[in-house]
Amino acid sequence: MLDPLLEKQFERKGRNVKVKISDTDLDVNEKFILFMTSRLANPLFSPELAAKTTIIDFTVTQIGLEQQLLGILIGKIEKKLEDDLTALQEEVTLNKKQLKDGEEMLLLKLATA
């Protein structure tokens, strides 16, 4: 029933913009935004609906919440520990990038040899 609205099948009639929903022409405000919510933990959306909309998952997990709270607590109590953690995370990321680059270079040398 909402397909014409989701697909933005608007018709301009004079100065008014209209959309046809359930055999009724309705005026459309250009500032109109539609938000749909679900209380289901894992809602099942059809591929057609997923293609017509933007789906945002605001699910909070126990582990994610613990990490955020721990980060805030460490930041307030021990700033140096938080700085060390950030530096270690950056170093791990850099090492992963170097490892990937090394693997690619090795594969390239093996392919050309």
* Structural domain spans, the chain: 3-52, 62-112
Element (H, E) at 108: helix 79-112
Give tens-digit pLDDT for 20-32.
888 888 888 878 8
Tally of helices (H runs) and strands (E runs) in the chain: 4, 3
Instruction: Give dist(CA 50, CA 22) in Å, integer.
Output: 22
Give tens-digit pLDDT for 30-86.
788 888 888 887 778 888 888 888 888 787 889 989 988 988 888 788 888 878 888
Model's pTM, two decimal places? 0.43
Instruction: Give dist(CA 92, CA 16) in Å, integer.
Output: 57
- Report DSSP state, residue 23: T
